[in-house]
Amino acid sequence: MASWRVVVTQRNFDAQTREHLAAHGCNVVEAELPAGQADADLDEDTLAHLLQGAAGWIVGHAHVTDRLLARLPALQVIARRGVGYERVDTQAVARHGKVATIAIGGNDACVSDHALGLMLAVAHRLREGQQRLETGSWAIPLGSDLYRKTVGVVGLGRIGRGVVQRLRGFECRVQVCSPRVDAAWAKSQGVDVVALTQLLETSDIVTLHAPLTPDTRFLIDAAALARMKPNGILVNTARGGLVEDRHLLAALEAGRLQGAGLDVFVSESDPAYAEVTRALVARPDVVATPHAGASTREALDRTNRIAAESVLAVLEGRAPRPECVVADGRNTHEKNQGRLAA
C-alpha cells in the first residue's frame, strides 16, 4: 500500500477520521499549534517547514499562496475544512498542477442553527438581560419577537436555504436576494425574491449568507445600513468583509439599529480593524461569537471526513466530489509538462 504524508494544520481533527486516513495508507501529522493560535497565524516559512514532503494538506484558514505552493513540489491536494476559500489562490493551485477542495455539506446545519441563535439572542436582548442579573438587577430589557417577523436572507447557498427552512417554524415572512435563485424552490418555500434595496428597507432582520468576493466586499456599508429599519437587526455568520464594521459601529452608536449578531469580523483579515472589533464586541446590543458558527463537534467531524475523502480521492487518482473542487490543475499541468519535454 502507498504511504502518503498528510498534514493537518487545523484543530479538532477527530480520531475516527485520522484512523480512516491511516487505513488507506496515509501518515497523518497534526501540527502542534500554541494555545490560542490558528493556522492563519502561521507565516510562510513555518507552513513550508510543516508541509515539506506532504502529499496532502487539510487546512483551516491559512493563506494558500503562489509562493508557498512553489516551495511544496510534493503537495498534490489542499483540502479546506470549511466552505469559504477566499484565502486560497485557486489560480496558483491550478498553475502548479494541484487540487484544492472545500468541505461542502459538512457544516450547513450548524451555521444555519447559529444564525437563528444570533437572531433570537439579539431580538430577546439575552446579553443585556444576563449583564443586568450579574449586577444584581432584575430589570427586564424589552425585546422583540422573531415570530412572524420579516427576515431578509442575502445569499442562497446551502446555509442560506437552511436558514429559510428553519424560519418557517417561526412563521416568518421570508424574502431573499441572491444572484441565482431557483424559482421553483423559492415558490415551494413560500419566499419572495427581491432586490437588495427592497430587502434592506422592508426586513426586520437581515441575515448574510453570501460569499466574500470583490463584488460583495462591504456589501453592507453606511448607505445600506441607512436603508434598514430603525429597529432592524443585522446578522452576519458568513464572512468578515461583507459588512463595513466601522459603518456598523457608527450605526449602532447612533441608535439606528436594535442590534447585531456577529460571528465574523473584518479584523480577521485586516488588523487595522482590531479596535473596531473590540468596540463592537463591548456593546450590549451586540451578540458576538469568535467565528464559531461552524464549530460544533458533529459539524467538525463531518467536515473532517469530507476533507479527508477529498484528499484520498486525489492521492488515489480518483475524482473528488465535483461540488467540492474549487481548483484542479492536474490535466493542465500534465499537458504543460508534456510540451516542455517535447
Give the integer Cα–Cα distance in Å for 22 and 236. 38
Question: Above 50 in pLDDT, residue 135?
Answer: yes
As a whole number, mean pLDDT of residues 59-88 equals 95
Residue the block writes with cell 443586568: 132
Average pLDDT taken over every residue of the chain:
94
Residue the block writes with cell 431557483: 182
As a whole number, mean pLDDT of residues 145-169 equals 96
Q: How confident is the model at residue 183 (pLDDT cuts 50, 70, 90)?
A: confident
pLDDT 10s digits, 94-109: 999 999 999 999 999 9
pLDDT score at 171: 97
As a whole number, mean pLDDT of residues 125-150 equals 97
As a whole number, mean pLDDT of residues 70-74 equals 97
pLDDT 10s digits, 293-330: 999 999 999 999 999 999 999 999 999 999 999 999 99
Return the number of other C-beta atoms located less than 10 Å from residue 74's C-beta. Answer: 12
Q: Does the active-site annotation cover 20? A: no
As a whole number, mean pLDDT of residues 236-264 equals 98
Q: Collapsing DSSP states into helix, strand and coil, what is residue 64?
A: strand
Of 24, 124, 291, 333, catalytic: 291
Q: How confident is the model at residue 332 (pLDDT cuts 50, 70, 90)?
A: low
Question: What is the helix (H) or strand (E) element at residue 288, kind and residue range?
Answer: strand 286-288
**Span of 42-46, 301-305, 335-339 with lowest mean pLDDT:** 335-339
Give the integer Cα–Cα distance in Å for 65 and 84. 15
User: Treating both helix axes as pointing N-terminal to C-terminal, what angle do 15-23 and 297-315 enclose, rounded to 10 degrees?
Assistant: 10
pLDDT score at 55: 98
> What Å distances lie between residue 218 and 150, 175, 209, CA to CA?
23, 21, 13
Question: Above 90 in pLDDT, residue 93?
Answer: yes
As a whole number, mean pLDDT of residues 48-65 equals 96
pLDDT score at 116: 98
pLDDT score at 334: 46
pLDDT 10s digits, 257-293: 999 999 999 999 899 999 999 999 999 999 999 999 9
Full strand arrangement of the beta sheet holding 26-30: 26-30, 4-8, 56-59, 77-80, 99-101, 325-328
Q: Does the active-site annotation cover 201? A: no
Q: How confident is the model at residue 342 (pLDDT cuts 50, 70, 90)?
A: very low
What are the start-end ranges of the H helices in the chain?
15-23, 44-51, 66-70, 90-95, 108-123, 126-134, 158-167, 183-189, 196-202, 222-227, 245-253, 274-282, 297-315, 330-341
Give the integer Cα–Cα distance in Å for 287 and 280. 9
Give the integer Cα–Cα distance in Å for 317 and 1. 14
pLDDT score at 84: 85
pLDDT 10s digits, 205-237: 999 999 999 999 999 999 999 999 999 999 999
Of 209, 268, 305, 309, catalytic: 268
pLDDT score at 62: 95
Q: Does the active-site annotation cover 24? A: no
Return the number of other C-beta atoms located less than 10 Å from residue 50's C-beta. Answer: 18
pLDDT score at 339: 32
pTM (2 d.p.): 0.87
As a whole number, mean pLDDT of residues 147-172 equals 96
For the record, the C-alpha cell of 119 comes out as 437572531
Of 239, 247, 302, 305, catalytic: 239
**Span of 114-128, 129-143, 175-189 with lowest mean pLDDT:** 175-189
**Span of 77-81, 185-189, 210-214, 287-291 with lowest mean pLDDT:** 185-189
Which domains does the chain carry? 4-106+296-341 (3.40.50.720), 108-288 (3.40.50.720)
As a whole number, mean pLDDT of residues 133-156 equals 97
Question: Above 70 in pLDDT, residue 1?
Answer: no
Give the integer Cα–Cα distance in Å for 315 and 310. 9
Give the integer Cα–Cα distance in Å for 115 and 235. 7
CA nearest neighbour of 261 among 199, 188, 206 = 206
